């Protein structure tokens, strides 16, 4: 998969450095050819872009056919459906609050980061096309960062390219082609994880702060930064290192929650409730339910037999739990493990009204692509390409099928 992608992906961690060192010296001609190759992260972004293009083609083919015809969706209608309208309203009009009017209260469930990004370029493209541009650009940025993260963690170019491919073809990834905030959040989260893996504390804090204005899953990112920062501070204290060695992790620890805390404060002030954000979560059925909804769906499926949509969703959740265990067994920084574990836990424990959205909630757990990436890396390119195409087509089908049963993507 990586014949064209021979340049290094950026600063490499110890695994990557060891891998390079063990290969020994290269001939000058080989080094020269490698230097002229396409940068590895760009290859990851191009692979991701190809998967998105394939998803659009599959959707355009399916929508006028079979049971999908009942949606009465054109391709553009699909792209701008469901929550997309909420983001466009916020981008155009901001947040308005009429006391006691729940139709206006619930608008605070949608974070401001994505609408703000839309509004920044809406003057040139119009709001809807600006939203699509932000989504597609953010998805490519996330794929670029994920490729670099894979190289930093593994030193293996093949695994690094498979990670954005598998993430881009994951169940629920249809929202990465829609006017949804997932692509932007994943881009910010991936680059925060890259910074954490490379111990660039202030950069990680900046990306985490921005992610806190986009989705509530930033809580997992804040926890990851906190765990990594505290570990660094403890090491510095034990070694009696000077101020210059520990002020950056301390600053990262303090700065990373500011985006989410700022949104919570704004919501509380606008709704005149100290617990404003948590109240909005409760009335929109997005609050943390400790996994009761998932357990109920599993119990009903076992006793009464699941519908096709329930069975497929439960299969996705089971795969996510299995892959989470594999990630925890990987030799990667603790902060990255904490982030993955919490994203999956939040997805599994979100309220019962969004059962069909749980695959989408898993998308920020980008490191779930690492174990299957390692598994598939030994396969030949002529096997991998059709496999990724089939996965991407199945993912597009799954996303549209979920909508035919009345579930939000």
Which of 126, 140, 120 minimizes the C-alpha distance to 49? Answer: 140
Q: What is the rounded average pLDDT of the residues 242-253?
A: 88
Mean pLDDT of 255-281: 89
294 or 186, higher pLDDT: 186
Rounded distance, CA 24 to CA 184, Å? 40
Percentage of the residues of the chain whose pLDDT score is greater than 70? 86
Average pLDDT of the residues of the chain: 86
Q: Which of 216-220, 273-277, 382-386 is predicted least confidently?
A: 273-277
SS3 252: helix
- Max distance between CA atoms of the chain, in angstroms, equals 73
Stronger pLDDT, 121 or 23, i.e. the higher one: 121
pLDDT of residue 100: 56
Would you say residue 27 has pLDDT above 80?
no
CA dihedral 399, 403, 63, 184 (to 10 degrees): -50
| pLDDT tens sequence across 80-94 | 998 898 899 899 888
CA angle 71, 75, 76 (to 5 degrees): 105
Q: What is the pLDDT of residue 36?
A: 52
pLDDT in tens, 393-402: 999 999 999 9
What's the pLDDT band for 310 if we cut at 50, 70, 90?
confident
pLDDT at 32: 35
Q: pTM, whole model, 2 decimals?
A: 0.88
């Amino acid at each position: 998969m990586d014949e064209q992608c021979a340049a290094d992906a950026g600063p490499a961690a110890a695994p990557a450095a060891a891998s390079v060192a063990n290969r020994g010296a290269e001939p000058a001609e080989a080094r020269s050819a490698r230097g002229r190759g396409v940068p590895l992260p760009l290859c990851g972004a191009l692979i991701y872009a190809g998967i998105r293009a394939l998803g659009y083609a599959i959707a355009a083919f399916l929508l006028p056919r079979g049971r999908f015809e009942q949606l009465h969706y054109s391709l553009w209608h699909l792209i701008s459906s469901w929550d997309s309208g909420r983001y466009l309203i916020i981008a155009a009009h901001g947040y308005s609050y009429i006391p006691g009017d729940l139709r206006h209260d619930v608008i605070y469930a949608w974070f401001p980061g994505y609408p703000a990004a839309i509004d920044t370029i809406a003057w040139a493209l119009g709001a809807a096309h600006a939203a699509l541009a932000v989504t597609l650009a953010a998805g490519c940025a996330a794929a670029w960062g994920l490729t670099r993260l894979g190289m930093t963690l593994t030193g293996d170019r093949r695994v690094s390219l498979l990670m954005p491919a598998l993430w881009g073809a994951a169940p629920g990834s249809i929202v990465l082609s829609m006017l949804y905030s997932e692509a932007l959040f994943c881009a910010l989260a991936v680059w925060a994880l890259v910074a954490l893996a490379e111990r660039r504390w202030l950069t990680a804090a900046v990306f985490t702060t921005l992610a806190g204005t986009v989705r509530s899953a930033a809580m997992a990112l804040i926890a990851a930064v906190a765990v990594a920062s505290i570990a660094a501070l403890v090491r510095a204290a034990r070694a009696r290192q000077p101020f210059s060695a520990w002020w950056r992790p301390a600053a990262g620890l303090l700065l990373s929650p500011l985006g989410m805390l700022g949104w919570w404060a704004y919501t509380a002030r606008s709704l005149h409730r100290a617990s404003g954000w948590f109240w909005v979560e409760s009335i929109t059925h997005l609050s943390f339910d400790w996994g009761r909804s998932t357990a109920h769906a599993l119990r009903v499926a076992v006793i009464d037999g699941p519908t096709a949509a329930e069975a497929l969703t439960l299969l996705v959740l089971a795969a996510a739990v299995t892959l989470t265990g594999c990630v925890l067994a990987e030799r990667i920084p603790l902060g990255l493990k904490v982030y993955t574990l919490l994203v999956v836990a939040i997805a599994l424990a979100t309220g019962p009204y969004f059962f069909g959205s749980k695959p989408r909630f898993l998308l920020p757990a980008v490191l779930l692509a690492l174990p299957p990436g390692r598994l598939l890396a030994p396969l030949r390119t002529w096997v991998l390409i059709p496999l990724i195409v089939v996965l991407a087509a199945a993912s597009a089908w799954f996303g549209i099928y979920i909508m035919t049963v009345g579930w939000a993507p």
